[in-house]
Structure 1
Amino acid sequence: MAKPASWPESGTVAAPEGATSAVWGACKGSGAKPYLAAVHLDGAGGPAYKCSCPSRKIPCKHVLALLVLWAQEGVHTREEHPEWVGNWLSGRVERRKKAEESTAAPADPKRAAATLKAREEAVESGMRELRLWLDDQIEAGLAEAPKHGYGHWDRMAKRLVDAKAGAAASAVAALPAAIRSAHWPEALLERLSLLHLLVSAHEAGDALDAPTRAAVRARIGIAVKAGEVLSEGERVRDTWRVLGLRDAPTEDGQMTARRVWLHGEKSGRTALFLSFARLQEGPRAPFRAGTEVEAEFAFYPDGHRIVPVADTAARTASPPEGTTVAEALDVCAAALAADPWRDTWPVVLAGAAPAHDGRWYMATADGAALPLDTDAPWTLLAVTGGHPCTVAAEWSPRDGLTPMTVWDREGRVHPL
């Protein structure tokens, strides 16, 4: 498709400084009308894509073919472009301008305080209702849970959405998944208990320490904007080693979340960079496994999630210092003590190798092992060859160990 014959019409749009601002084209398709594709190259936050084809992939094959053709110098600058291209580009510029104006506009302190008060009251009401609902589930008995349809759980979840407690709503909506598991009574009781603990922690309010209080608010769904973190959050400058990254769907299944774990060389801090994208797209992150960056991070109130203060330059790093299984579990236990609702935490194991004993494990020379979250770790086996290595992974008490990065015996890095 990336050949001139497939594109009867194509062209580029020049920016005021002369660089290429956008690429557009009309591609021959199976129907009578061509597919109209365009790429805004200097869009805020990265390129933006548009195509009239019905594909749900973004970017679609027509956009990719157009970019390949342009990279091969098969698309030439034209002084004029079709009306649909101009409308799309001007609309994007206008939306960006409005967003910048709204960000720059000073906030009304009284209005902001009133909005915050209304939000807190709505959340408090929702959490009180959640406590009553949880009591009802226990009084009715767990044996009744499989008899309920999805509407039983969705009604409470929707009530929490109305109460501005979106994260708590997602936790309620995920309860039917626990009922479908093999040991569903234990799984359901565990999740109901964590929700009960969340309600109790919210009621405790300022009696909690600051990091745990921040974790509670995040688990309820009271978000802190990145701008607030940059202006008010704790800042730490350090050499940050990128341990690894992992993509996973969000609880509602609507988006993909990318978790990137970093470790500070001097501070000893664990940092988490989160990015999100629609299911058809890949989340972006300015970090690559096996590298290190000299950077300053602004930390969210929970003490782990970060916002990079400025662009950073990465360099190749040596393998990180690993720990034993017992030491790794101690670190995870400390993280869970501050945030009992956390389901993953990064660990780095030294001298660990895949082992099989009914199921797959990562085992160390002292005989300790952690179960893997997969029954077929073929990529891990291929990379390690069964030999001991340094492994950075996510540990979940519920799901097991998910390797993210492996450093082999020669110190070479292998992102998984």
Structure 2
Amino acid sequence: MNVTEAYVDSLALNGSAIKNGRDLVKKNSFPLLCESEDRTVLFGECKGSGKDPYRCSADFAVEGNPVFRCSCPSRQFPCKHILGLMYAYADGKPFETAPIPSDLAEKREKAEKREEKKKEAASSESPPKRKTNKAALAKKAAAQLEGLAIAEKLVLHIVHSGLGSLDKKTLQTAEEQAKQLGNYYIPGVQASLRELLLQLRSDEERESLYTGAMERLLVLYALLKRSKTYLQAKADDPDTPVDTETTLEERIGHAWQLAELRDHGLVRGERELLQLAFRSYPDEARGEFVDEGYWIDMGDGQVHITRTYRPFRAAKYIREEDSFYQIVQTKELIRYPGELNARIRWDEATLRDAGAADYSDIRSRAVRSFPEAVKRVKNQIKNPLSDKHPVMLLHAAEIRKSEQSFVLVDEQGKRLVLGDISHLEHPTVSLLPLLNGEWLKGQAVLVMFGHDMTLNRLIAQPLSIVTSKAVIRLLY
């Protein structure tokens, strides 16, 4: 068991859960702390509000996929008692070696049998294929097309009326109509429409407001047009192949299931990943908090994204992601449809500390030619439905101060202007003068690209710098 404070922090739902778990240890709330003879199970008792203590445990029999149990009624999981148990172990508190309680042993045995059955089913020569309900698919596609028609009428009304003529009453009516789209299985389209309406309600200066609104209108128009063509084909023929090359399905609102992604071959074997940057932000249009991590695949150097959505109403019950500093070793890596920065996820993983050899390997993966990087970015962002802010790891011979801003310079002397992108809402360029001069020469720099309307050119915002010894994070 490699139970460290950083590992326990990564399991907690949020900062409050971390504090509550640590406080239990400080208050000596655990009259009983035990460890199994094979050192795979931690269990104990924690004082609660009632006369009987809560019985909590952490079973690490399956490496990378621990099982937590607690007798408390908390809806947060792992609860503060389980976190406190592991914090006590990480802090070096004395744990008594004892036999696993009978109830835990029984549950463990049942879990092992379930895992064995899963492995047998997975290894069978002809695993049962999921049957597709073609009638249900056609019915759903028809409902989605009906919803798209409503959204299209609303967009056309906004365009014909003119952005300048939209008042609060008109926008209120439009928002009520957008709310109706929740009945048509197109939550992605609904969120895009809400983004437009939120933009029109903002207090930005008029020129900036209309520029942003026009960009969103163009994206929304492209989304409606392509979605209509795609869904019509599915309504006409339920056997139409699912789009697994682009993010169209996700933009319409489809929530990919792991079984689907496996069926479409979007699974890789063992991989090693290191997080290079992280951010968390509220998405008002979706009504959710978004936790977003940028990870480099140590195998091929690709930069991927992990993205967790936490609905505002249930945020305290869903684990809040955070910056992560250890290397994640996954047994299976799931890849979502996407482009330069495809979304990924995994279920089981083990951790190890990063070393000099790892940082050297990451640095060798950085793109060394800026013209090549810019070409790849332009090829992506010219598609209206592509991510307009791709992230890439670049090798910079130097980070230099120019007359107006900082620039990255590659080995051929080509420059890339650095600037803060409004999309991020977190400036980082102003931090560069504070860095050690050695970190500004011959380093790998993770940047996010964006199009500056004022300069009419691509700019890049630095997110982190990978040196030979560490990752210097400018964005958390």
- The one of 384, 388, 395 equivalent to 1:343 is 388
Question: What is the alpha-carbon distance in structure 1 between the residues aligned to residue 298 and residue 94 of structure 2?
Answer: 46
Q: 1:332 corresponds to which letter in structure 2? A: V
Question: What is the alpha-carbon distance in structure 2 between the residues aligned to residue 294 and residue 70 of structure 1?
Answer: 24
For the Cα contact (< 8 Å) 1:271–1:305, is it kept in 2? no
* Corresponding position: 1:372 with 2:420: yes
Aligned residue for 1:397, secondary structure, equals strand
Q: 1:244 corresponds to which letter in structure 2? A: L
Matches within 5 A, 1:254-265: 254-262=288-296
Aligned-pair CA distance for 1:108: 6.4
Aligned-pair CA distance for 1:300: 3.6
* Corresponding position: 1:6 with 2:52: no
Aligned-pair CA distance for 1:217: 1.6
For the Cα contact (< 8 Å) 2:445–2:465, is it kept in 1? yes
Matches within 5 A, 1:5-44: 6-7=28-29, 9-12=31-34, 19-20=40-41, 22-26=43-47, 38=56, 40-42=58-60
Aligned residue for 1:257, secondary structure, equals strand
Aligned-pair CA distance for 1:392: 1.3
- The one of 249, 267, 283 equivalent to 2:281 is 249
Equivalence for 2:14 = none
Distance 1:45 1:239, change over 3 A: closer
Distance 1:345 1:113, change over 3 A: same
Matches within 5 A, 1:329-340: 329-337=374-382, 340=385
Aligned-pair CA distance for 1:191: 0.6
* Corresponding position: 1:387 with 2:440: yes
Equivalence for 1:171 = 192
Question: What is the alpha-carbon distance in structure 2 between the residues aligned to residue 35 and residue 413 of structure 1?
Answer: 44
Distance 1:13 1:263, change over 3 A: closer
Equivalence for 1:413 = 470
For the Cα contact (< 8 Å) 2:222–2:384, is it kept in 1? no
Aligned-pair CA distance for 1:200: 0.7
Equivalence for 1:403 = 462
What TM-score comes out, normalization by structure 2 length? 0.63
Matches within 5 A, 1:204-283: 204-205=229-230, 214-233=246-265, 244-249=276-281, 251=283, 252-262=286-296, 270=302, 272-276=304-308, 278=310, 281-283=319-321
Equivalence for 2:134 = 113
Equivalence for 2:162 = 141
Provide Cα deviations, 1:253-308, integer angstroms capped at 9, x if missing partner.
52333333436876x8x4524242645644389x968x798998564444534456
Question: What is the alpha-carbon distance in structure 1 between the residues aligned to residue 213 and residue 254 of structure 2?
Answer: 25
Equivalence for 2:219 = 194
- Unaligned stretches of 5+ residues in structure 1: none
Question: What is the alpha-carbon distance in structure 2 between the residues aligned to residue 190 and residue 406 of structure 1?
Answer: 31
Q: 1:262 corresponds to which letter in structure 2? A: I
Question: What is the alpha-carbon distance in structure 1 between the residues aligned to residue 58 and residue 273 of structure 2?
Answer: 33
Tell which deviates more after alignment, 330-339 or 163-172.
Answer: 330-339
Equivalence for 1:184 = 209
Distance 1:134 1:302, change over 3 A: same
Aligned-pair CA distance for 1:119: 2.4
Question: What is the alpha-carbon distance in structure 1 between the residues aligned to residue 163 and residue 471 of structure 2?
Answer: 45
For the Cα contact (< 8 Å) 1:277–1:283, is it kept in 2? no
Aligned-pair CA distance for 1:170: 1.9
For the Cα contact (< 8 Å) 1:256–1:283, is it kept in 2? no
Q: 1:406 corresponds to which letter in structure 2? A: I
Aligned-pair identity (%):
14
- The one of 50, 68, 73 equivalent to 2:93 is 73
For the Cα contact (< 8 Å) 2:65–2:347, is it kept in 1? no
Q: 1:193 corresponds to which letter in structure 2? A: L
Aligned residue for 1:224, secondary structure, equals coil
Question: What is the alpha-carbon distance in structure 2 between the residues aligned to residue 139 and residue 35 of structure 1?
Answer: 66
Aligned-pair CA distance for 1:193: 1.6
For the Cα contact (< 8 Å) 1:38–1:49, is it kept in 2? yes
* Corresponding position: 1:316 with 2:348: no
* Higher RCO (CA < 8 A, seq sep 6+): 2
Matches within 5 A, 1:148-159: 148=169, 151-159=172-180
Question: What is the alpha-carbon distance in structure 2 between the residues aligned to residue 376 and residue 214 of structure 1?
Answer: 30
- Unaligned stretches of 5+ residues in structure 2: 1-22, 235-239, 454-458
What TM-score comes out, normalization by structure 1 length? 0.71
Aligned residue for 1:109, secondary structure, equals coil
Q: 2:28 corresponds to which letter in structure 1? A: S
Aligned-pair CA distance for 1:25: 0.6
Distance 1:202 1:168, change over 3 A: same
Question: What is the alpha-carbon distance in structure 2 between the residues aligned to residue 129 and residue 158 of structure 1?
Answer: 11
Q: 1:394 corresponds to which letter in structure 2? A: M
For the Cα contact (< 8 Å) 2:152–2:224, is it kept in 1? yes
Distance 1:242 1:198, change over 3 A: same
